[in-house]
Amino acid sequence: MLWAASCQARHLELARVLLEAGAKPDDGESYVARGDAKLVMKDYDGAIEDFQQAIKADHEYAEAHYGLGSALSAKGDAKAALKPLDMAIRL
């Protein structure tokens, strides 16, 4: 839980800038930052999309898998959340 909070805090400022500018991220870290911000704002579908793009950019990016699992869980799909959360743990 503490790890998630520190990841979120680290990315929120970058995500805020990206969201305000309407920028499309071009790397996994930027997608995760934007996904974190959308998750905080309860835009679960938007967060899921960003975390999936981050995973597409870097399949071994643990924070992206964790974010995807968190967004799926927050959306109410605990079963779907298990796979990305398990992957985050393994990475």
- pLDDT (tens digit per residue) in 9-60: 666 666 666 666 565 667 788 888 888 888 888 899 999 999 999 999 999 9
Per-residue model confidence (pLDDT) at position 41: 83
Structure tokens at 67: 């974010």
- pTM for this model (two decimals): 0.76
**Side-chain-facing half-sphere of 72: CA atoms under 13 Å:** 18
